Amino acid sequence: MRIFVWLFRAAIFFSLFAFALNNQDVASVKWFFGQEWRAPMVFIVLAAFVIGCAFGVLAMVPSWWRHRRVARRQRPEPELPHPNSPAAQGAPEPLPLPPPRDGL
């Protein structure tokens, strides 16, 4: 199954690489007030992708904060020991046994 995932990733990479090689022509993006940006098409598509990813992450931040706040409120409180247990009466807990030593 892992090999199919890597083959799929390789196919996507080579498809995008071929797309980049086929779109090396210079394109222009026209801004306001007569401003124009000329760059290879690949860089323009990459810039649009990066700006879209950044916008998506920034749009999700308030939701992430809200979920963190709700998760903190719903965190279970630590359980107190039973009143009749030795730990509740102040008795020390027994020490754990050391692991067995082989070969001695």
Give CA separation, 35 vs 7, 24, 29, 67, in Å: 43, 22, 9, 42
* Per-residue model confidence as pLDDT tens digits over 4-25: 999 999 999 899 888 888 878 8
Domain ranges of the chain: 8-73
Is the full-model pTM beyond 0.85?
no
DSSP letter at 28? E
Give CA separation, 73 vs 6, 53, 79, 95, in Å: 41, 30, 16, 35
For 8-39, b where at least 16 C-beta lie within 10 A, e where not — what string?
eeeeeeeeeeeeeeeeeeeeeeeeeeeeeeee
- Percentage of the residues of the chain whose pLDDT score is greater than 90: 33
What per-residue confidence (pLDDT) applies to 97? 78
| Backbone dihedral region for residue 54 (phi beyond 0: left; psi -120 to 50: alpha; all else: beta) | alpha
- Percentage of the residues of the chain whose pLDDT score is greater than 70: 81
To which H or E segment does residue 42 belong? Answer: helix 41-73
Return the structure tokens found at 99.
Answer: 């692991």
What per-residue confidence (pLDDT) applies to 80? 65
